[in-house]
Amino acid sequence: MNTMISYRDAMREALREALQRDARVFLMGEDVGMYGGSYAVSKGLLEEFGAQRIRDTPLSELGFVGAGIGAALGGLRPIVEIMTVNFSLLALDQLVNTAAALRHMSGGQFHVPLVVRMATGAGRQLAAQHSHSLEGWYAHVPGLRVLAPATIEDARHMLWLALQEDDPVILFEHAQLYNVVAPLAPDAAATVDIERCRIRRAGRDLTLVTFGGMLPPTLAAAEQLAQQGIEAEVIDLRVLRPLDDATIGESIRRTHRALIIDEEWRSGSLAAEISARIMEQAFYELDAPVQRLCSAEVPIPYAKHLEAAALPQPATIIEAARRLLGKQEAVTG
């Protein structure tokens, strides 16, 4: 029987399972303990598991990410929560120069089995300094595995798989997803992996490639396109490094058109990388150039209507899809 659960609660259950199953696992970060987490994901875990395993840290991302790396090198399996991706910039040295590189630089003698969780994305009127989507920055770095769970089942089951890795994993949780409620099947773990993307909707006319917080508006757009006689296939990347080129290529061979929806800024985005790979690997399958729909190249505005205008929306996804298919007239739903 399916259970209705929120994305937030699914993440909490994932944390609880990890702490129960493996004594080496602990959670550390700003406000994860007494406050219950900035997004209430770790609420109640301090009381359940105690201060040794749910550790509040000082406001120093550089410091506590470094402590997490040290704990991983010492044989533990730390989960480090960075409050938002914006604050992760303060820990880039630890993540890129140390965690990602140490296996290579030690000739395989040392591993860093570290999972770093962080909220990402815009849409909450938090303005330019707290609305970043920087997943592509981390997906650029060899030595990191980068995950973006966008569904309840991935939120519930990706964490344990990430903890089995001997090298660092970055797990992005889009803040707009925490309140999403959906059914979770008892056998949902069987549908989750950290190697391949997932087709969330089958289609024949074009492929919509997306991830994270852009999955719900993309699926909404696909439903509206279906009412107009256009069947769009929706791919949820969910694994941003390494990218699953094979599944994307198979979809292109069915639909012959691709539109990439990415909340990042267009220049240097993950959408640009995916577009290049499609052109390199499936050029002769395309009936039209690959198209991208990204956020406006501006610092994300605070005003609600301007923030909405800066981000891809179902209506703009529909417009871009119709344009890709040569249907120029605007249709809204």
- Domain assignment present for residue 238? The answer is yes
Catalytically annotated residue among 30, 81, 130, 233: 130
The answer to whether position 132 is within a domain reads yes
- Cα angle value 272/273/279 (rounded, 5°): 90
Task: Determine which one of 30, 61, 135, 173 is catalytic.
Answer: 61
**pLDDT given at position 137:** 97
Are both 185 and 239 inside the same structural domain? no
Alpha-carbon gap, residue 19 to 21, rounded angstroms: 6
* Residue 104 known to be catalytic: no
Q: Are residues 17 and 145 in the same domain?
A: yes
Verify that 257 and 142 share a domain, yes or no. no
Please indicate, yes or no, whether residues 145 and 87 belong to a single structural domain of this protein.
yes
Q: What is the pLDDT of residue 246?
A: 97
pLDDT, position 333: 38
pLDDT of residue 331: 45
Q: Is 294 helix (H, G, I), strand (E, B) or coil?
A: strand
| One domain for residues 217 and 292 | yes
For residues 204 and 187, state if they share a domain: no
Residues 285 and 214 reside in one and the same domain? yes
What is the reported pLDDT for 222? 98
Contacts of 25 (CB under 8 A, 6+ apart): 18, 19, 53, 76, 77, 78, 79, 163
DSSP sequence for 81-138:
EEEEHHHHGGGHIIIIIIITTHHHHTTTS-----EEEEEE---SS--TTS----HHHH
Tens place of pLDDT for every residue, the chain, 333 residues?
Answer: 789 999 999 999 999 999 999 999 999 999 999 999 999 999 999 999 999 999 999 999 999 999 999 999 999 999 999 999 999 999 999 999 999 999 999 999 999 999 999 999 999 999 999 999 999 999 999 999 999 999 999 999 999 999 999 999 999 999 999 999 999 999 999 999 999 999 999 999 999 999 999 999 999 999 999 999 999 999 999 999 999 999 999 999 999 999 999 999 999 999 999 999 999 999 999 999 999 999 999 999 999 999 999 999 999 999 999 999 998 654 443
Alpha helices in the chain (DSSP H): 7-21, 45-49, 61-73, 85-88, 92, 102-105, 135-139, 152-163, 215-227, 245-255, 270-282, 304-310, 314-324
Longest dimension (CA), the chain: 61
- For residue 330, being part of any structural domain is answered with no
Residue 253 and residue 145 share a domain: no
In a domain? residue 159: yes
Given a contact cutoff of 8 angstroms between Cβ atoms, the answer to whether 9 and 16 are in contact is no
Is residue 61 flagged as an active site residue?
A: yes
Among 138, 158, 191, the domain boundary falls at 191
How far apart (Å, rounded) are the C-alpha atoms in residues 6 and 331?
Answer: 32
Q: What pLDDT is attached to residue 330?
A: 46
Question: How many domains does one find in the chain?
Answer: 2
User: In terms of residue numbers, what domain contains 220?
Assistant: 198-324
Judge whether 333 lies within some domain.
no
**In this structure, are 151 and 10 located in the same domain?**
yes
| Claim to verify: residue 35 and residue 168 sit in the same structural domain | yes
Regarding whether 223 and 165 lie in a shared domain, the answer is: no
Which residue among 191, 210, 245 closes a domain?
A: 191
For position 236, which CATH number holds?
3.40.50.920
My answer on whether 155 and 209 are in the same domain is: no
